[in-house]
Amino acid sequence: MKAFLTLTWTESKLFLREPAATFFTLGFPLLLLFAFGTIFGNGPASAPGNVGYTTRALPGYVALTIGALSLLSLPITLATQRDQGILRRFRVTPLRPTTVLGTQAAVNLFMLVVSTVLLLVAALTYDVPLPSSVLLATGALLFTGTAFLSLGFLLGALMPTARAAQSVGMALFFPMLFLSGAAIPQFLFPDWLTTASLALPLTHVTRLLQDAWLHGQWNGTAALVLAGTGLTSTVVAAWAFQWS
Residue 2 or 199 with smaller CB distance to another protein: 2
Nearest alpha carbon to residue 70 among 222, 244, 204: 204
Which helix (H) or strand (E) segment is 190 a member of? none
Nearest alpha carbon to residue 28 among 66, 77, 61: 61
Residue 2 or 49 with smaller CB distance to another protein: 2
* Cα(25)–Cα(102) distance, integer angstroms: 19
Residue 96 or 163 with smaller CB distance to another protein: 96
Min. distance of Cβ 33 from another protein in angstroms?
28
Residue 92 or 199 with smaller CB distance to another protein: 92
Backbone angle region of 201, left / alpha / beta, with phi > 0 → left and psi within -120 to 50 → alpha: alpha
In Å, how far are 70, 78, 92, 168 from 154, measured between CA atoms?
Answer: 10, 10, 24, 12
Query: DSSP character for 128?
Result: P
CB 212 within 8 A of CB 131: yes
Residue 46 or 73 with smaller CB distance to another protein: 73
CA 40, chain centre distance (Å): 24
Residue 6 or 132 with smaller CB distance to another protein: 6
Nearest alpha carbon to residue 71 among 161, 159, 149: 149
Min. distance of Cβ 39 from another protein in angstroms?
36
Min. distance of Cβ 88 from another protein in angstroms?
6
Four-point Cα dihedral 226, 28, 185, 150, nearest 10:
-10
Min. distance of Cβ 171 from another protein in angstroms?
25
* Cα(22)–Cα(13) distance, integer angstroms: 11
Min. distance of Cβ 238 from another protein in angstroms?
18
Min. distance of Cβ 13 from another protein in angstroms?
7
Interface residues with another protein (CB under 8 A) are: 2-3, 5-7, 10, 13-14, 17-18, 80-81, 84-86, 88-89, 91-96, 244
Min. distance of Cβ 96 from another protein in angstroms?
7
Residue 40 or 241 with smaller CB distance to another protein: 241
* Cα(111)–Cα(83) distance, integer angstroms: 24
